[in-house]
Each structure stands twice: as structure tokens, then as C-alpha cells.
Chain A
Amino acid sequence: MSDVHQFSTHERDTLAAVLDQVIPPSADGRLPGAGFLAHGARFDAVIRLLPGLDLGLAGGIAACDEHARRRGVTDYRALSDADRLAVLNEVAAADPGFVPSLMFLAYSTYYVEDRVIAALDLEPRPPHPQGYAMAANDLTLLEPVRARSKLWRDA
């Protein structure tokens, strides 16, 4: 596992800014942007799941910085929000694998976070041991099916 790319603080900070473009905070402020994931432990677990995901992300982050410099700023984080989006689109056009990698990372880790689950109006708790209550069955729905003749074939 030591062969997984080790992300520097700068790379993680840049990734956080990129992830905030992928899943931005919701307009009502209930759902956070996905940027916080770049510094979380789940990030380290998920980049091991797909071969090459680490290097794909590292390459894309470097490209974001490079494109930012072409716009006359020091790095991606120095861009305005609108320019961050524009640069991400430029990098995505040049490297078609980058955005799918970002989406996989963001989608798989964002929606297991307690604060995100709570904002979806679910209880942020494990399914076990409490489980969920469900209503009793309405088996009157089966009446038309019961009224049918046999469906199986004599053999």
C-alpha cells in the first residue's frame, strides 16, 4: 500500500477547492460543500479502491494549478469562484478521466458523512441494531392474484 501517492498539504488544499466545485454547498446552507472530504480519513481509504485513482487525482490537481498560473495567479486556490469553475472545465476537457475520478471520490465519501445524512432528514446512525419500523402488510392487494387460475405448468 505504500505505493499509493502521498498527497501533500498543498495538494489536499487544492483538492478541497476542486471538490467544492464538484459538490458545492447547497443554496439553503444545509448541505456542506464536499471540500472537507480532502482532509478526511475516508479519502485515504477510497483512493486505494481503484487502481490509478491516486495518480489520476494528483495529475488533475497539478493541472488545475498549472491552468491557474496561466491566468496569472499563484495557484488554483487563488482564483475566484467563477474562475475555479472555468479552470476545472478546461482541465476536464484536456483530461477526460479527471472529473469521473473526482465524482467517484466525492459521491462515495460525501453521502456516508453524518452531517450529510442528517441534512437529508435521515437519522445519522448505523442501520443496526435499531433498524427501521415498517407498517403491516395490506394483503387485500393480493385478491386479484388469488382469484387467478394456476400459472404453473404440469410436468
Chain B
Amino acid sequence: MSEETVDVLIIGAGASGAALAWSLAETRMNVLCLEQGDWVKSDDYPSNATDWELRRLGDFGFSPNDRKLAADYPVNDSESPIAASMFNAVGGSTILFAAHFPRLHPSDFRVRSLDGVATDWPLDYRYLAPWYDLNERMTGVSGLAGDPAYPQDPPKRPPLPPLPLGQLGETLARGFNKLGWHWWPSDSAIISQDYEGRGACINAGTCITGCAQGAKSSSDVTYWPIALRSGVKIKTHARVREITLGANGLADGVIWYDESGREQRQKAHVVVLACNGIGTPRLLLNSKSKDFPDGLANRSGLVGKNLMFHPYAMATGVFDRPLEGYKGAIGCCIMSQEFYETDAKRDFVRGYSFEILRGLGPMFTALMGMGWGSIPWGKDHHGAYAELFDRTAGMVVIGEDLPEECNSITLDPELKDANGIPAPKINYRLGDNSQKLMAHGIARAKEVLEASGAKKVIEEPLLRVAGWHLMGTARMGTDPKTSVVNEWGRCHDVKNLFIIDGSIFPTAGAVNPTNTIQALALHVADAMKKNLATLFD
């Protein structure tokens, strides 16, 4: 039994939990974060050894089902064409993230009004812009002002200059120019120059197995160190099983398991969920009571519903010259938003972004080449390998997924984690609009690669591994019947319970979500601070 009742208990030390903890630190409230994972130290990262790529298949893989580390919980994704991808540690999934850090567009907040689909957000781009600014400063974002794909009022001004495009990026930029299509250097949560005590990116290219350099702005190296210095506390190896309710109908704390599997209790005046779009609905659905037989804060029936990924398609161009693609941040090069906004001439609404990836390392060249049937075994092996290695450029289509209630997180009736807590199950299928949009995107990606000089293009219409943007499963809105939290992240049904991760997105947009997740977390923290006196009214 824990003796002390904390003022604010945050569950999950990932991107959103870190931003909120930092913001609340100035209040001098007693803030505690429970995190099922541990800190990842610089020495732990694969990039310190030549066989770093191999660990992508093991303890630094994307899927908790493959890693099976003590911090992980299993996710049944057998009935989804897109697999769960996340990391469980201080820093959460930002430990592995590629750090592509764009903002949503103004139209993303007004999807129902503009296009007659899905739902509008209860806030808009202009409102969120200062929180994006703050988050980009705290994170250390590299990029370039003046992008015509974004409003200039208020302006978007990344604090650091863009990362190197490299030969590969410039080759594709020329291809976009040939077609007259938009492209722009990526907004990247990677510091291109020394910043706030961290050393600049050294172009090592290992970002998606973590950054030993500390140049990638995972939240363990941005918000958390400052939050901890300001008095916030983290307990690691602390896995929360359920949120408990007091007699007054408010959340009064949690039951959690420590590293040795012992059950513990933590009392709190306010509980904040930051477990991501899968972990948060899982925890709510596991927190059943007389008042909430279908899961906590679930009177709307929408907890776990409306799961959105960004479906990813990939086109890989094979060139006849080296591109030095193994150098540089793997996911942060250039982005194109030529096809971002709805165009009535197309057979789908909304749109997609292109993100240019770098090339593949030596080992992944071999494995991808094997998967594509391009690198045979036997006497032709070396010749085929030489035609691929350092001669590929990848391009992904990041599509806007519309919310559909049938796409959901539920509790698996059998699967459990190491503490016996029911595991989540993903029920997902690609909607009709998404299918059309992705088909359009992959065809355009092929055009770009060909215009850039690729002699061959390999198309992958849907990337199974790419279930890393987890959104919509506890959506935000003003009406308690059609949403789980209000416009500042507070659950309609439980007044001292907040949700701040990607679960609260009403719609997904077509850009990577973490800048928006953290901007929203800062907005929620600000609302909590402003409303402290009347927080539970």
C-alpha cells in the first residue's frame, strides 16, 4: 500500500506524459508518473555496434509481440492487416520513432464542415498554433520556415535549420520539381545543431532503433530531465492494472504491479492517462465497476472505438548509382503535401502526405531484397545485391484514415500480459476511402521516383509493420454522447480523469501525429492549471 496521495498521477511516460509532466511541474503540485518500462541508456542502443540492424529483429523491434520484453504487453493483431508498433519505456514510442514532426493542417480540424465526413475537432489550428510553437521549441525541431503547404499567419518557424537532404534527398527533390509538385525539407524532431545541452545529429541513420547520440528528441531527453529536476517523480517497472473509483464517483487512484509482480496501490486526486491509442482504451476497458460495467468513462460506448492508424504504402525506387542513403536520419529528409487536401476530381475525400525515407543499411537491403524477390540465393546473389545496395530510395504514402466504429480496440478474451492483465485486441479493416486514397498515392509515388531517375520501382500497397500512429479510441468532443473527453481532455463521465495521448484525436489528418499529441498535452496541462480551483465542477 502506498501511503501518500499524489495530486496528479500520470500513467505512461511517453511523448504525451512527458509534455504534461513538464508543464505541470511549475505548479509545485505533487506529480507522479507510473511507467511500465525503464530508462534506455545511451549505451543500450544498437547503434553502438556494427550489428545494429540485427537488433531490429530482436529487442529493438517495432512489435511488442516480437520483442517480448518485460516492459511489453502482447497485442492480438491477428485480425488486422496493420500490426501494432510501439515501445514501452521512459520516452515511450519516441524511443523508436523516426522523428518526422509535422503539424496538422487547418482543414484537418474541420473535416465534417469541409468534406461532410467524420467529425470536426472542438478546437482549431489557430488555437493550437502556440502549443505547437512551444512544443517545437522544447523538443528542438529542425526545419525551414515558408512552406506554402502551411499558413504563414500564424507562421511556422522551426527553431533549427533543416537536416541534410543528402544526395538521395536532392535526387528526389529534382524529381518533384520535374513534375511541378510540392516538396519541403521535413520538420524533424532531431537537432541539426547543438541545442539545449544536446549534441547535434551525426547522420548515423539509426533513428528507428533509437539514438545513442541523444540528437533525436525522444521525450526521455527533452521534457523528462527538466520535469524531474523540477520535482516530478517517475516510478519505472510500474504496470497499472486498473483505475479505481471512490464513493464520490471520482477516480481515486490505481492498482499497479511492481517489478516483482507485487500488487500496489497509488492514491491520487487527479489521474491522467497517457498510454497511447492502444494502452489507454485497454486500461479503461480493464477498469470495470458497478457504475461503469463496460469500462471506465465509457457511457458513450466509444472507448476503444474509431481506431485510426495512418495506413502506409511504400514505393522503393532502384537507381543505377549510389545515393549514400545509409547516411542521415532515416525518416527525416523531405515531405510532399501535393495531394494533402480534398480535390473533388478524385474518387476519395481528404488526402495523404509523401515522406521520403533514406536508403537501407546492408542487412535490410538483403532482407528487403529477399522479400521483393530481387536478391536470389546462389551464384547470382552478389550481382543482384550490388544492384540494390545503396541504390534504393524509399517513399511512403501516409494516408488519412477516417474514423469508423468497427475499427476498434477490445479486450482479448484469452490473451494476458505477464501480470495476468487482459491484453488488447485490434479489430481493423481498411475503409473504402482509405483504399482508394492509398491506390492514388502509390501510383503518384511511382511517378515521382521515375521522374527522379529510378530504373525500377517496387510497390508495397500496405505496410503491415506500420501500426505506429494510434489514434481515435477515446475521442474528444463537446457532446458526451459522441465523445469520451471534452475539449481539454477531461473525461465527460469522470471529472478528475484526463486523457492526453493520440486516443483523443477525433480525426487523423495525414501527417505523423506526435507534434499534435504533445501540443494537445500542453494545452490540456494549461487548461488544468487555469481551472485548478474548479477542476472537478
Contact = CB atoms under 8 A, between A and B. Distances in A.
A99 to B, nearest CB: 7
Contact of A112 (B50, B170, B341, B369): B50
A21 B378 CA distance: 6
A150 B124 contact: no
A68 to B, nearest CB: 18
Contact of B377 (A45, A102, A112, A132): A102
Interface string B77-108: 00000000000000000000000000001110
A96 to B, nearest CB: 14
Interface bracket on A: 35 or more
A106 to B, nearest CB: 8
Nearest to A143: B177
A137 B165 contact: yes
Interface in A111-147: 111-112, 114, 116-117, 120, 122, 124-139, 141-142, 144-146
B215 to A, nearest CB: 9
B439 to A, nearest CB: 22
Given A99-B377, A132-B327, A110 B47 contact: no
Contacts of B324: 132, 134
Nearest to B109: A155
Contacts of A135: 164, 166-167
A31 interface: yes
A110 B366 contact: yes
A65 B51 CA distance: 32
A152 B107 contact: yes
Contacts of A131: 201-204, 213
A108 B366 contact: yes
B382 A112 contact: no
B301 interface: no
A132 B204 contact: yes
B58 A45 contact: yes
Contact of A122 (B53, B362, B381): B362
A62 interface: no
Nearest to B382: A26
B110 interface: yes
Contact of A127 (B144, B166, B204, B337): B204
A22 to B, nearest CB: 4
B146 interface: yes
Contact of A141 (B174, B212, B342): B174
Contacts of B146: 146
Contacts of A107: 363, 366-367, 369-370, 375
Contacts of B195: none
A44 B485 CA distance: 49
Contact of B340 (A85, A137, A141, A151): A151
Contact of B45 (A111, A116, A128): A128
Contacts of A111: 53, 362-363, 365-366
B489 to A, nearest CB: 22
B118 interface: no
Given A46-B54, A155-B114, A108 B367 contact: yes
Interface stretch (B147-155, B227-235, B275-283): B147-155
B37 interface: no
Given A111-B363, A132-B328, A137-B164, A151 B337 contact: yes
Interface string B306-349: 00000000000000000010111000000001101110000000
Contacts of A152: 105-107, 148-151, 340-341
A57 B166 CA distance: 42
Contact of B328 (A112, A134, A138): A134
B28 interface: no
Contacts of A49: 57-58, 66
B204 to A, nearest CB: 4
Contacts, number: 176
A22 B385 CA distance: 13
A51 to B, nearest CB: 11
B410 interface: no
B53 A112 contact: yes
Contacts of A129: 202, 212-213
A155 B205 contact: no
B359 interface: no
Contact of A126 (B48, B54, B338): B48
Contacts of B379: 24
B206 interface: yes
Given A117-B362, A155-B125, A24 B378 contact: yes
B148 A150 contact: yes
B193 to A, nearest CB: 13
A155 B54 contact: no
A145 B51 contact: no
Nearest to B209: A127
B477 interface: no
Contacts of A114: 50
B205 A132 contact: yes
A5 interface: no
B51 to A, nearest CB: 4
Contacts of A141: 170, 173-174, 177
Contacts of B197: none
Contact of B202 (A85, A128, A151, A153): A128
Nearest to B192: A137
A78 interface: no
Nearest to B177: A144
B184 interface: yes
A42 to B, nearest CB: 7
A31 B384 CA distance: 14
A139 B114 CA distance: 34
Contact of A22 (B49, B148, B367, B378): B378
A148 interface: yes
21 contacts: A23-B381, A107-B370, A110-B366, A111-B363, A112-B51, A117-B362, A129-B213, A131-B201, A132-B202, A132-B204, A135-B166, A137-B165, A141-B170, A142-B185, A144-B177, A144-B180, A145-B182, A146-B146, A150-B149, A151-B148, A155-B106
State the 4 A-B residue pairs at the shortest beta-carbon distance, nearest first. Answer: A131-B202, A127-B204, A112-B51, A107-B366
